[in-house]
Amino acid sequence: MSDHNIVDEHVEQYIRALLPKSSGLLYELERYADEHRVPIVQPEIAQYLKVLMKVHKPVRVLEIGTAIGYSATLMAEQMEKGVIETIELKKEMVSIAAETFEKLKLYKPNVDIIQHHGDAIGVLENMNSEFDLIFIDASKGHYKAFLELCLPMLKPHGLIVSDNVLYKGMVATNLYLVRRKITIVKRMRIYLDFISNHPELDTTVLPMGDGMAISYKKEADGA
């Protein structure tokens, strides 16, 4: 198995070998993340996001968890125009991401990046916007709280993309469970049950990367 206990390592290696190589700013960010041990989305998740952005064509995006700005850059590159609002708690990450977005602006002038520095729950409680897509990739123990705050801001037919939802396979089975991660795993199981049975959402969980959930917001009549 791979390090994440989700996909057989040979399958994972094969899929990653098929992916196109990154270039430009994304490549630069990937190198930085590798050198400084900053978590970013895994290659197959990055490619999935690229395709999803092209199909869904969101104009307004909310990202919870900016880090160095890798995912926001990846999404912005697929947009002709629009706005990405992104939330990050760590001040040093906010500064690094700001430099990333300055570079991004040089070739994506029609995509505005709005950074929010602070605790995501506090930021979301004071936010009053509408979004076509919401990407959740922050503190795994708080996904349900994030969802409850941002779901009212998601337009009908909008998508919520939740990353790392299988958390190294520990969410799926106690065989991989590490004792110090019990609280996070319990909360993620609650979150997955919540979004899988939520009356406003249609959700699927994908066993790729570290696990990804895609949730579609229905119309008020359930369509």
C-alpha closest to that of 58 among 127, 135, 151, 158: 158
CATH number at residue 172: 3.40.50.150
Whether residue 126 is contained in a domain is answered as: yes
Whether residue 3 is contained in a domain is answered as: no
CA angle at 191 for the pair 113 and 213, rounded to the nearest 5°: 60
Helix (H, G, I), strand (E, B) or coil at 124: helix
- Amino acid letter, residue 5: N
Tell me the H-state helices in 108-216: 120-125, 143-150, 182-196
Locate 181 and state its tokens: 């991660």
The tens digit of pLDDT for each residue in 10-61 reads 999 999 999 999 999 999 999 999 999 999 999 999 999 999 999 999 999 9
Whether residue 84 is contained in a domain is answered as: yes
Whether residue 86 is contained in a domain is answered as: yes
Whether residue 1 is contained in a domain is answered as: no
Decide if 167 contacts 185 (C-beta within 8 A): yes
Give the pLDDT confidence score for residue 180 in this predicted structure: 86
Whether residue 91 is contained in a domain is answered as: yes
Q: Which domain holds residue 40?
A: 9-217
Whether residue 222 is contained in a domain is answered as: no
Whether residue 223 is contained in a domain is answered as: no
Give the pLDDT confidence score for residue 220 in this predicted structure: 78
Kindly give the confidence (pLDDT) of every residue in the chain, 223 residues in length, as a single tens digit, with 9 standing for 90 and above: 455 678 889 999 999 999 999 999 999 999 999 999 999 999 999 999 999 999 999 999 999 999 999 999 999 999 999 999 999 999 999 999 999 999 999 999 999 999 999 999 999 999 999 999 999 999 999 999 999 999 999 999 999 999 999 988 898 888 888 888 899 989 999 999 999 999 999 999 999 999 999 999 998 776 6
Domain count, the chain: 1
Decide if 166 contacts 211 (C-beta within 8 A): yes
